[in-house]
Amino acid sequence: MNAPEKLPPTDAVRTDAQWLAAHWMPYTGNRDFKARPRLITGASGAYYTTHDGRQVFDGLSGLWCSGLGHGRREIADAIGRQAATLDYAPAFQFGHPLSFELANRIVAHMPAGLNRVFFTDSGSEATDTALKMARAYWRTRGQAGKTRLIGRTKGYHGVNFGGISVGGLVANRKAFGQGVEADHLPHTQPPAGSFHKGMPPTGAELADELLNLIALHDASNIAAVIVEPLAGSAGVIVPPVGYLQRLREICTQHDILLIFDEVITGFGRMGAWTGSEAFGVTPDILNFAKQVTNGAQPLGGVVVRQDIYDTFMAAGGPEYMLEFTHGYTYSAHPVACAAGIAAIDLLEREDAVQRVRELTPKFEAAVHSLRSARHVTDIRNYGLAAGLTIAALPGEPAKRPWQVAMAMYERGFYARYSGDTIAFAPPFVATPAEIDRFVAALGETLDQTA
Binding site for ligand PXG (CB under 6 A): 63-64, 122-124, 127, 156-158, 228, 232-233, 261, 263-264, 289, 300, 416, 418, 423
Q: Which listed option, ligand PXG, ligand PLP, none, makes contact with residue 329 (CB within 5 to 8 Å by class)?
A: ligand PLP
What is the C-alpha separation between 296 and 18, in angstroms, rounded?
29
What is the closest distance, in whole angstroms, from the C-beta atom of residue 290 to ligand PXG in the complex?
Answer: 6
Q: Which listed option, ligand PLP, ligand PXG, none, makes contact with residue 130 (CB within 5 to 8 Å by class)?
A: none
What is the closest distance, in whole angstroms, from the C-beta atom of residue 330 to ligand PLP in the complex?
Answer: 6
Q: Which listed option, ligand PXG, ligand PLP, none, makes contact with residue 43 (CB within 5 to 8 Å by class)?
A: none
Judged on CB neighbours under 10 Å (0-12, 13-18, 19+), 9 is exposed
Distance, C-alpha 126 to centroid of its chain: 11
What single-letter DSSP state applies at residue 294? Answer: T
Alpha-carbon distance values, 411 to 56, 62, 259, 441, 444 (Å):
8, 18, 40, 8, 10
**3-class state of residue 405 by DSSP:** helix
Single-letter residue type at 430: A
Strand partners, 225: 150, 258
Nearer to ligand PXG, 282 or 311 (CB): 282
Nearer to ligand PXG, 214 or 284 (CB): 284
In the β-sheet with 421-424, what is the strand arrangement from edge to edge?
376-382, 385-390, 421-424, 416-418
The footprint of ligand PLP (CB under 6 A) covers: 328-330
What is the C-alpha separation between 2 and 336, in angstroms, rounded?
32
Q: Which listed option, ligand PXG, ligand PLP, none, makes contact with residue 416 (CB within 5 to 8 Å by class)?
A: ligand PXG
What is the closest distance, in whole angstroms, from the C-beta atom of residue 328 to ligand PLP in the complex?
Answer: 4
Q: Which listed option, ligand PLP, ligand PXG, none, makes contact with residue 200 (CB within 5 to 8 Å by class)?
A: none
Nearer to ligand PXG, 311 or 417 (CB): 417
Q: Which listed option, ligand PXG, ligand PLP, none, makes contact with residue 328 (CB within 5 to 8 Å by class)?
A: ligand PLP
Nearer to ligand PXG, 122 or 311 (CB): 122
Torsional sign, CA 299, 304, 309, 312? negative
